[in-house]
Amino acid sequence: MKKTAFVTGGSRGIGRAIVRRLAAEGCAVGIDYLQAREQAEALAAELRVQGHEALAVRGDVSDRGAVTAAIRLVEAEFGPVEVLVNNAGIAEQRQFQDISQDFWRHIFGVNVDGAYHTIQAVLPHMLHEKRGCIVNISSIWGQRGASCETAYSASKAALIGLTRSLAMELAPSGIRVNCVAPGVIRTDMVEVLGEETLSDLARETPMGRLGTPEEIAAAVAFFAGEGASFVTGQVLTADGGFIL
- Kindly list the residues in this chain that would bind ligand NDP in the complex (CB under 6 A): 8-9, 11-15, 32-36, 60-62, 87-91, 110, 137, 139, 182, 184-185, 187-190
Minimum distance from residue 180 beta carbon to ligand NDP (Å): 8
Give the long-range contacts of residues 73-78, CB within 8 A, separation 24 or more: 73/30, 74/4, 74/6, 74/30, 75/4, 77/28, 77/30, 77/53, 78/2, 78/4, 78/28, 78/30, 78/53
Closer residue to ligand NDP, CB minimum distance, 112 or 175: 112
Catalytic residues: 152
Cα atoms in the 13 Å half-sphere on the side-chain side of 208: 0
Would you report the helix, strand and coil content of the chain in percent, each value rounded to 5? 50, 15, 30
Interaxial angle between packed helices 101-108 and 150-170, expressed in degrees from 0 to 180 and rounded to the nearest 10: 40
CB of 87 to ligand NDP, least distance (A): 5
- Quick one: 37 or 130, whose CB is closer to ligand NDP? 37
The Cα-based distances of 219 to 50, 180, 237 in angstroms read 23, 7, 9
**Minimum separation from the CB atom of position 129 to ligand NDP (A):** 26
Nearer to ligand NDP, 127 or 218 (CB): 218
Nearest approach, Cβ of residue 23 and ligand NDP (Å): 16
Nearer to ligand NDP, 196 or 226 (CB): 196
